[in-house]
């Protein structure tokens, strides 16, 4: 395929050159063919032919200079197409001699009385082909240069003016109630600046929007511009930085120059951390181009020049790496944190993205919001879009809960590996591991609620247990964290008790548990070491800072930290094993049911715990049936090798 594209591109690039060659060849051929039968005579030779009666036809034209005649004609012995040219002085004697000879010898004499017409004809015949060639060459080279950046525009601003057709208002921004209140002042100032100036108030020159990716920072900035109805310039932080030092600074100057001409206006700089990182950090020195660009931005925002009517809104998810000079009052005076939405915010966001979706009866946005803690606005939009795509693939006319469950799993863990072949021993291990998480979660309801359990592999996990908080809290208590650790260790505890063996399946559980325990001991002061903070979450990406990270405690304290972490983990592990030992029957029930159904929802788990069996199966919904039931249906429909198929393969054979 690549070779075909290369040949096509090569042919397209050669066509203009081939066209130029054809034109040049045509012009050359025209002049040479027309001149091949032409003879040039001297004045004396012409007079000799004239006096000797050898002239057959003459055509006389006054040259544009007005001093000579251009004479063309044919002789009696010339073949067809042959002719001669001669230049004669412009005088009455010469013309009289030509006229007299024509009368005496009776040859054809043509005299052009209008010299201007002759001049235009000469220009047309001699210069028009050359002019056409020059115009085409100019057009061709301009087109060739259009794809590349002109050196004259190299330092120009890359900020783009957003069209009114893409206008966004606060109605399009769901949730973010407090954040919208924070930026409403900017709109009032842009609409009526005198109201603020009357009391001597100075509007913030810059607003920094901080928060995790996908929380709506860019959308909020667009809404501010839409509400204020002012020009809105958009640029990314990476658009400033170039290979050559000084180009970024030039673009900053040009951006503010353009903004001043259109003030009042808004400038939105997305991912400002690309250009606003701290200066003088990292091993090996700084980055001259980026630092010069940052210096120019600092000068323009709060230097000696006035930028009245220009408000800068910037967005980043890494405020910790920004230069302190950028965050001081006078530059980015106000910093607005755009956090992940709460349950009410998620419901509002889902309502916006569900406008053009057809949801089945019984699906409420309130329940969906409760099932998706920790989802950002972008995640929620992707969730509904994935659910819609799944419904189309399954030839459904509406989005059901089955598609939403599958879409949630896809967003969190990735697509299911339906072709992955488990051995029966592996399936059993995974089923008891996940059942262990479920049993501990059911018995420790104060921390979280078991929402879903599955043994279908996704991503790097052989199965997973989705647990959501019983209620969203601003802070977590020590009991909450200890119960979360206990739940994470439930899988390993179930393996030990059931099989007397341990597997590698708990490595991700240990990673999460260790992270929580270390934070409890070194950051939250939730251990016997007392209310002390030994470490901080810097999250810095600078090698120099990470490489020389200071340790503010002695080796003895480091040993005590390790002992406290081990103590907490061991206590939680012991508690998880106690819960599993007391509820072996429930563990076996959930595990065996998982082996039959592969996936259990919260409603099915609650029914199973209460009635010790699954609810009545609906044969119209094949996805909810057990593997045994699906194999019976496959047998009736004549499916081959049905007894060796897993649930995903059976559903595929049954066209689900």
Give me the active site residues, please: 434
Contact 379, 372 (CB under 8 A): yes
Give the Cβ contact number of residue 526 at 10 Å. Answer: 19
Angstrom distance (rounded) from CA 573 to CA 493: 7
What is the SS3 assignment for 49?
helix
Query: CB neighbours of 627 closer than 8 A, spacing ≥ 6?
Result: 595, 596, 597, 598, 646, 647, 650
**Torsion angle, CA of 94/98/100/106, rounded to 10 degrees?**
180
Comparing C-alpha atoms, which of 31, 338, 35 is closest to residue 176? Answer: 338
Token digits of residue 4: 């075909």
Q: What 8-state DSSP symbol labels residue 603?
A: H
Angstrom distance (rounded) from CA 598 to CA 417: 13
Q: 232-236 and 265-270 as β-strands: parallel, antiparallel, unpaired? A: parallel
What is the SS3 assignment for 109?
strand
Token digits of residue 400: 């059901």
Q: 160-161 and 83-89 as β-strands: parallel, antiparallel, unpaired? A: unpaired
Give me the residue label for tokens 């040949």: 7
Angstrom distance (rounded) from CA 83 to CA 59: 11
Query: CB neighbours of 33 closer than 8 A, spacing ≥ 6?
Result: none
Contact 89, 103 (CB under 8 A): no
Angstrom distance (rounded) from CA 57 to CA 464: 105
Comparing C-alpha atoms, which of 478, 172, 516 is closest to residue 348? Answer: 172
Cα 221 from chain centre: 17
Angstrom distance (rounded) from CA 27 to CA 590: 90
Comparing C-alpha atoms, which of 298, 256, 165, 272 is closest to residue 217? Answer: 272
Comparing C-alpha atoms, which of 343, 336, 350, 334 is closest to residue 370? Answer: 343
Angstrom distance (rounded) from CA 443 to CA 439: 6
Angstrom distance (rounded) from CA 621 to CA 654: 12
Which residues on adjacent β-strands are paired with residue 322? 277
């Amino acid at each position: 395929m690549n070779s075909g594209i290369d040949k096509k591109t090569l042919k397209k690039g050669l066509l203009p050159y081939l066209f130029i060659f054809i034109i040049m060849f045509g012009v050359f051929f025209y002049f040479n063919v027309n001149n091949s039968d032409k003879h040039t005579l001297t004045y004396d030779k012409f007079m000799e032919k004239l006096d000797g009666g050898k002239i057959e036809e003459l055509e006389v034209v006054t040259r544009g200079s007005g001093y000579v005649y251009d004479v063309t004609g044919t002789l009696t012995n010339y073949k067809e197409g042959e002719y001669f040219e001669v230049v004669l002085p412009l005088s009455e004697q010469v013309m009289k001699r030509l006229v007299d000879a024509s009368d005496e010898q009776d040859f054809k004499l043509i005299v052009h009385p209008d010299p201007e017409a002759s001049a235009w004809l000469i220009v047309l015949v001699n210069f028009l082909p050359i002019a056409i060639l020059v115009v085409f060459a100019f057009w061709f080279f301009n087109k060739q240069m259009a794809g590349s950046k002109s050196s004259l525009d190299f330092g120009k601003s890359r900020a783009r003016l957003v069209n009114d057709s893409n206008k966004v208002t606060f109605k399009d921004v769901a949730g973010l109630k407090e954040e919208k209140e924070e930026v409403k002042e900017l709109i009032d100032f842009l609409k009526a600046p005198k109201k603020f100036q009357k009391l001597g108030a100075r509007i913030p020159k810059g607003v920094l929007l901080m928060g995790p990716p996908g929380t709506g920072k860019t959308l909020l900035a667009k809404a501010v511009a839409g509400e204020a109805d002012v020009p809105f310039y958009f640029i990314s932080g990476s658009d400033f930085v170039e290979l050559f030092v000084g180009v970024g600074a030039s673009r900053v100057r040009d951006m503010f120059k353009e903004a001043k001409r259109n003030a009042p206006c808004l400038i939105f700089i997305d991912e400002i951390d690309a250009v606003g990182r701290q200066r003088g950090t990292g091993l090996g020195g700084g980055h001259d181009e980026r630092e010069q660009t940052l210096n120019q931005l600092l000068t323009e925002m709060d230097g000696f020049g006035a930028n009245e009517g220009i408000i800068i809104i910037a967005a980043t998810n890494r405020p910790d790496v920004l230069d302190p000079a950028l965050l001081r009052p006078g530059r980015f005076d106000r910093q607005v944190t755009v956090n992940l939405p709460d349950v009410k915010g998620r419901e509002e966001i889902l309502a916006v993205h569900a406008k053009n979706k057809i949801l089945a009866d019984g699906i409420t946005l309130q329940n969906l919001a409760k099932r998706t803690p920790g989802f950002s606005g972008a995640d929620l939009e992707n969730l509904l879009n994935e659910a819609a795509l799944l419904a189309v693939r399954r030839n459904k006319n509406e989005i059901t809960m089955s598609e939403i469950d599958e879409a949630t799993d896809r967003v969190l863990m990735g697509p299911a590996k339906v072709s992955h072949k488990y051995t029966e021993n592996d399936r059993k291990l995974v089923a008891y591991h996940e059942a262990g998480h479920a049993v501990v979660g059911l018995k420790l309801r104060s921390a979280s609620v078991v929402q879903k359990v599955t043994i279908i592999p996704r991503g790097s996990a052989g199965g997973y247990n989705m647990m959501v908080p019983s209620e969203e809290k601003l802070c977590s208590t020590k009991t909450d964290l200890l119960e979360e650790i206990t739940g994470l260790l439930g899988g390993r505890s179930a393996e030990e008790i059931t099989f007397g063996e341990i597997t590698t399946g708990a490595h991700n559980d240990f990673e999460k548990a260790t992270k929580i325990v270390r934070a409890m001991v070194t950051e939250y002061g939730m251990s016997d070491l007392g209310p002390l903070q030994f470490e901080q979450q810097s999250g810095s990406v600078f090698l120099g800072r990470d490489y020389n990270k200071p340790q503010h405690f002695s080796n003895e304290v480091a040993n005590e930290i390790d002992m406290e972490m081990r103590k907490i983990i061991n206590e939680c592990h012991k508690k998880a094993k106690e819960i599993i030992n007391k509820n072996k029957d429930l563990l076996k029930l959930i595990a065996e049911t998982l082996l039959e159904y592969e996936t259990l929802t919260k409603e099915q788990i609650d029914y199973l715990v209460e009635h010790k069996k699954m609810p009545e199966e609906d044969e119209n919904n094949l996805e909810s049936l057990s593997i045994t039931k699906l194999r019976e249906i496959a047998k009736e429909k004549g499916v081959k090798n049905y007894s060796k198929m897993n649930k995903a393969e059976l559903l595929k054979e049954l066209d689900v």
